Amino acid sequence: MLENYLKIMYRNLWRYKAYSLLNILGLSIGLASTFLIFLWVQHERSYDQFHDKAAQTYRLTSGISKDFVAATTPPPIGQEMASKIPAIKDHLRLTHRVDHLFEHDGKKFEEKEGFYADSNFLSFFSFTVLKGDPSTALQNPDVILLTEKMANKYFGSTDVVGKTLIRDNKNPVTVSAVLANIPSNSHLQFDYILPISAIKDNDWKYPSQDWGNFIYYTYFQLDEQLTPTADALSKVTEEIMREYKTHTDGVIAKTQFKLQPLSDIHLHSQNFQVDVAVHGHYLYVNTLSLVGLFILIVACINFMNLSTARSARRAREVGLRKVVGADRKQLITQFLGESLLITSLSVIIALAIAILALPAFGGLIGKSISISLFSPEMAGYLVTIVIFTSLFSGSYPAIYLSSFKPLLVLKGILTSQRSGHRVFRNGLVVVQFVVSIFLLVGTIVIYKQLEFIKNRDNGFDRSNLLYVHMTGDIWGKQQTWKNALAENQLTSNFTITDALPSNLGSGTIDYWYEGKDPSSELVVPMMDVDADFISVFGMELLAGRTFSKLFTDSTSYMINESMAAVMGLSPEEAVGKPFAVWSKKGTIVGVVKDFNFKPVSQSVGPLMLQYNEWGGMAVIRTQPGKLEATLAAVEAVNTKLNPNYPFNYGFFDEELTRLYESEQRLSKLFALFAGLGIFISCLGLYGLSAFMAEQRFKEIGIRKVLGSSTIGIVTLLTKSFIGLLIVAIIVAIPISWYGAVQWLNGFAYRIEMGIWIATLASAIALIIALLTVGYESLKAALMNPTRSLRDD
Amino acid sequence: MIELQHIFKWYNVGGTKTFVLKDINLRIEQGEFISIMGPSGSGKSTLLHILGNLDTPDEGSYLFLEEDVYALKSRKRAELFQSRVGFVFQSYHLIDELTVYENIETPLIYKNISSSERRAIVGDMLDRFGIVGKKDLFPNQLSGGQQQIVGIARALAGSPNLILADEPTGNLNSQQGEDVMKLFKQLNEEGVTIVQVTHSEKNAEYGNRIINLLDGQLKKD
């Protein structure tokens, strides 16, 4: 029996090659897309799960107010809480990411991917140690942990425990262990780790007993016995806060601490200030999971539609099988079996496509992911998807085909004319196009929003800005350096600032003005800038003056418009008012128009500027077309003044673009999958229209003989599809509108969701669909009518 | 073997009943070869379909092999007919995607017959109808007459007691038609009961009883 089924399936597939191709191709592409999305989603969800104690590990986060939460905590908190609170078994501290110069045997590089960590780093986390003894690796202050990658970069080998690197041109550090490269699904990404004990007490990173200085990342491991319910966790955090209050006073004592599960860090860290890295976003993961499911559904619908459309050809077979004794169950088994086989075949093709497309896909998502075909997880997933897809896509054709009444079929009357089935099939086409239009609207909205971000007025001119950090010897020769830059006409338009206004992290609540509410929890960031800041960035001064070399500005402050508004003053009124930060009293000398210093997901808040007398980085406005020459000039200055450090620089607009990496990715992924969704839908539509034209072959012939024009026939054939598309558009617009508005609400500055976006998406879908349907219709309309009428 | 009593079949067209079959009473004994004749639209095919359980009447009773057909549940009814009736159609109705061999085998695969037994039965059929050499051909590679022979072989493969043939020679030329009729005659002599619908006086003569239908009613002869 099985043999008989297999043969008939094979011969059917072979006989109607074009249909089979459309069917299998559509399903394969859909499945391949779903695989890729699945791999990505799985990767995003697997972050930090590889640590042995992942389930008990938490990061301590802090918040002054609902709007200001940070990933950092004060240095002493880890030790103190671990000793006072029984539920906390272990703790680990990390500094901010640090930047050091390393040298070995003439190879010298600036390394920006490092942390200082407590000595239990290797036992707390489960990074793979290739060489060295993990238990003692961070005991001494003069050691360093390297990853395989960095070890190879300097030594060309990983067998380097005991060898030395020169740090910052002076301090030798001994390699105490070499780690395997950090897995891409770790939220901590680094090339080296230094012991916290190596930090000097004059360094701002020094682990002082300052309970108000939020500069460390603190991780806790809780008791294994503790069931991490929300209640249990909040009990622990309450204890932490109670303990914290005994060390602090004022507004800072009201800090709210939270325990963030290690596995949540990657996808659920959207609002944290000074976080370790660019994180993923659970919403994007959910959105793409949904898109993956959509694509699979579209592909399955294709399969159903093509299979049932072909039913006329199978109807006679069904009728006959029934006449000679097959019951319905046997026929359903036969057709489900066919869909199982076709699905399995498609899964194999899809896997091949996915494997081939993986490198390109990896480039798109900015991560390298591998397919491990033989993992139990993958096998489970494949089996699930084969069963789901074959049942979902095969059930309707099976039920439909097996329902034919033999007598009617053999008389040549097809039950497919029954309206219930037609409505169902049309419904499927509508669903396909609803999904396609939804994806199209998504693509357009994301694209326009990114364009908007790129081109919107941030309050400054972002182009042609080059920045160079002060490093090494320049710190000691600042004036000479500045003079050298000022002398050259190419580099003379520069300013010294401590940070770029792209994503200012921290802030303070320790500022004062007349009439400030003492219980205010508003955290205001601060920038240290020099006299040329406003002019170099092209910002607008609303009142007063900028800092100036002509005045003694060490106690002068500038604020932005929003800060003035917080103080309840107009820009003009604010000028001259007394102001203080960290108890340093002074006056406001100028008010600058609001400019963005955060990603546009957040609105511009208040900002304070003070006069920069200590340095940081130089931001140079280059003259258009003279970038190369300017770079060469800066490099010459740096090499002369700072010969022991490599020359490094960056561009401000690239820095800004980097803020929207995950949006850029989402944009590309949406565009890709929207394209695929439409392609698959059109494969199905093409098959359907070809089938319809074939079914009405004779009718078309008769109409032509009776004098219908080609246009008339094309209209006749495309009319029903246009109706379906219009229904799809009507359904899709509100859904996608809602989705787009939801997404846009995540941005403080955003495009308006215009009717034109929905119109454009619908028009694209409509045109592509019409071209698809029109081709077959035109072919049918142009044929010689005698062909269809001949054999009667 | 077959006893039809007061069989009525009608359609409702615009509120009035149009009778296809009107009070048919018919007995058919084992081993008969019956030809049903009558003009187009007289209800011949419908009668045949009712005999083969492809269609049901609106009124009346049907005893098949002493069983009251319409008292049975549909499953039981299907079982009763499945292995006892073979159909031969005017347009053969072979499955295009299956070879001659596989077409003949199809009824057997729904009967829980082992594959070796199936091979024996199909081989027997091929042999009996002289189409061994054609067993791997597809229906569209055969002439109409040959296709109908395959159709008859398929109908006989399940060793039915009754063959129902709906204008089996309708699409064939006279020579092919005559061959088929001779084959039926021979099968009938071997004990198979045959009911055929035909337009042709000549073909009807092959049977041992002719039933004339007119406007859904049996004509007394």
Q: Give the list of residues 6+ apart from residue A362 with CB closer than 8 angstroms, or none.
A: A368, A369
Surface-to-core class of residue B156, CB atoms within 10 Å of its CB (0-12 exposed, 13-18 middle, 19+ buried): buried
A326 touches chain B (CB under 8 A): yes
B-chain residue closest to A319, CA distance: B93
What mean pLDDT, rounded, does chain A reach? 87
* Number of other CB atoms surrounding residue A419 within 10 Å: 8
A6 Cβ under 8 Å from any chain B Cβ: no
Task: Count the neighbouring beta carbons within 10 Å of the beta carbon of residue A691.
Answer: 20
CA distance A740 to A627: 39
Distance CA B220, CA B211 (A): 8
Candidates B83, B87, B97; nearest CB to A12: B97
Q: A495 has which bridge partners?
A: A619
DSSP bridge pairs for A774? none
Q: Is the pLDDT of residue A433 over 80?
A: yes
How far out from the chain centre does Cα A189 lie? 17
Nearest chain A Cα distance for residue B37, angstroms: 20
Instruction: For residue A91, name the pLDDT band (cuts at 50, 70, 90).
Output: very high
A328 touches chain B (CB under 8 A): no
Q: Does A407 touch chain B (CB under 8 A)?
A: yes
Say if B54 is an interface residue toward chain A (CB within 8 Å).
Answer: yes
Q: Which residues contact A762 (CB under 8 A, 6 or more apart)?
A: A437, A729, A732, A733
Nearest CA among B102, B93, B97 for reference residue B166: B93
Lowest model confidence (mean pLDDT) among A5-9, A259-263, B55-59, B206-210: A5-9
Mutation to test the A interface, candidates B45, B84, B110, B197, most A Cβ within 10 Å:
B110
Residue B61 contacts A where some CB pair is shorter than 8 Å = no
Any A CB within 8 A of B109 CB: yes
Put simply, the answer to whether B158 touches A324 (Cβ < 8 Å) is: yes
A430 is written with which tokens? Answer: 């509508």
Shortest Cα–Cα distance, B98 to chain A (Å): 7
Contact between A24 and A350 under an 8 Å Cβ cutoff? The reply is: no
Q: How far is CA A44 from the centre of its chain?
A: 10
Task: Residue A329: list chain B partners with CB under 8 A.
Answer: none
CA distance A15 to chain B (A): 8
Whether A762 has a pLDDT exceeding 80, the answer reads yes
- Nearest alpha carbon to residue A34 among A340, A281, A342, A350: A350
Say if the Cβ atoms of B89 and A406 lie within 8 Å.
Answer: no
Q: Look at residue A482 and tell me whether its pLDDT is greater than 70.
A: yes
Confidence of residue A1 (pLDDT cuts 50, 70, 90): low
Positive/negative CA dihedral, A551, A552, A554, A557: negative
Quote the pLDDT of residue A418.
57
- Angstrom CA distances, A546 to A537, A558, A609, A610, stand at 13, 7, 10, 10
Average pLDDT over residues A267-290: 82
Which residue, chain included where needed, has tokens 């303070």? A508
Of the candidates B171, B102, B106, B105, the residue with the CA atom closest to the CA atom of residue B137: B102
- pLDDT reported for residue A150: 94
B8 vs A141, A496, B56, B72, CA distance in Å?
105, 104, 10, 19
Residue A153 and residue A132 in contact, taking contact as beta carbons nearer than 8 Å:
no
**Cβ neighbours of A316 in B, within 8 Å:** 93, 95-96
Tokens 């199209």 correspond to A440
> In this structure, are strands A584-592 and A556-560 parallel, antiparallel, or unpaired?
parallel
B81 phi and psi angles, rounded to 5 deg: -85, -30
Angle of CA points A437, A441, A442, to nearest 5°? 115
First-to-last alpha carbon distance for chain B, in angstroms, is: 22
Contacts of A407 in chain B (CB under 8 A): 49, 54-55
CB contact under 8 A, B97 and A15: yes
Query: In DSSP terms, which residues pair with B195 in a beta bridge?
Result: B34, B164
Given a contact cutoff of 8 angstroms between Cβ atoms, the answer to whether A467 and A499 are in contact is: no
Measure the CA–CA gap between B162 and B192, rounded to whole angstroms. 6
- pLDDT band of residue A242 (cuts 50, 70, 90) is very high
**Among A8, A319, A327, whose Cβ lies nearest the Cβ of B97?**
A8
Judge whether A401 is closer than 8 Å to chain B, CB to CB: no
Task: Tell me the nearest-neighbour CA distance from B208 into chain A, angstroms.
Answer: 27
Rounded to 10 deg, the angle between the A311-323 and A2-15 helix axes is 150
Tens of pLDDT, residue by residue over A714-742, are 888 888 888 888 999 999 999 999 989 98
Q: Residue A350, CB half-sphere, CA atoms under 13 Å: how many?
A: 28
CA atoms within 13 A on the CB side of B20: 20
For A692, residues 6+ apart whose C-beta sits below 8 A from its C-beta are A309, A717, A720, A776
Q: Measured between beta carbons, which residues in chain B are less than 8 angstroms from residue A324? A: 87, 106-107, 110, 154, 158
pLDDT of residue A791: 47
What lies within 8 Å, CB to CB, of A34 at 6+ separation is: A292, A293, A295, A296, A350, A385
Residues from chain B that touch A12, judged by Cβ atoms under 8 A, are 97
Do A507 and A526 meet the contact criterion of CB atoms below 8 Å apart? Answer: yes
Given B49, B82, B89, which is nearest A325 (Cβ)?
B82
Percent of chain A scoring above 90 in pLDDT = 38
Go through A510-539 and write b for each residue having 16 or more CB atoms within 10 A of its CB, e for each that does not: bbebeeeeeeebbbbbbbbbbbbbbebbeb
| C-alpha to C-alpha distance for B31 and B45, rounded to whole angstroms | 21
DSSP state of A147: E
Do residues A667 and A446 touch, judged by C-beta distance below 8 A? yes
Whether the CB of A410 is below 8 Å from some CB of chain B: the reply is: yes
pLDDT of residue A279: 77
Task: Please check whether residue A127 is in contact with residue A142, taking contact to mean a CB–CB distance below 8 angstroms.
Answer: no
Amino acid B220: pLDDT? 62
Contact A750, A757 (CB under 8 A): no
Q: To the nearest whole angstrom, how far is the Cα of B107 from the nearest Cα of chain A?
A: 5
The pLDDT of residue A420 is above 80? no
Please tell me which residue of chain B has the smallest CA distance to A9.
Answer: B97
Question: Residue A325: its chain B contacts at CB < 8 A?
Answer: 78, 82-83, 107, 110-111, 158
Measured between beta carbons, the chain A residues lying within 8 angstroms of B111 are 325
Q: How far apart are CA A527 and CA A513, in angstroms?
A: 18
The CATH classification of domain B32-45+80-219, taken from the options 3.30.2420.10, 3.40.50.1110, 3.40.250.10, 3.40.50.300: 3.40.50.300
B89 and chain A: CB distance < 8 Å anywhere? Answer: yes
The pLDDT mean for chain B works out to: 89
Tokens representing A173 are: 């550090």
The pTM of the full predicted model, rounded to 2 decimals, is: 0.80
Q: What chain A residue is nearest to B89 in terms of C-alpha separation?
A: A410
Nearest Cα of chain A lies from the Cα of B158 at a distance, in angstroms, of: 9
Three-state secondary-structure class, residue A788: helix
Contact criterion met (CB < 8 Å) for B106 and A4: yes
* A308 residue type, one letter: T
Do residues A774 and A718 touch, judged by C-beta distance below 8 A? yes
What would the pLDDT profile of A670-711 be if each residue is shown by its tens digit?
888 888 888 888 888 888 888 777 777 777 877 777 777 888
Average pLDDT over residues A543-551: 88
Q: Is residue A413 very low, low, confident or very high in pLDDT (cuts 50, 70, 90)?
A: low
Instruction: Collect all residues of chain A within an 8 Å Cβ-Cβ radius of residue B78.
Output: 325, 327
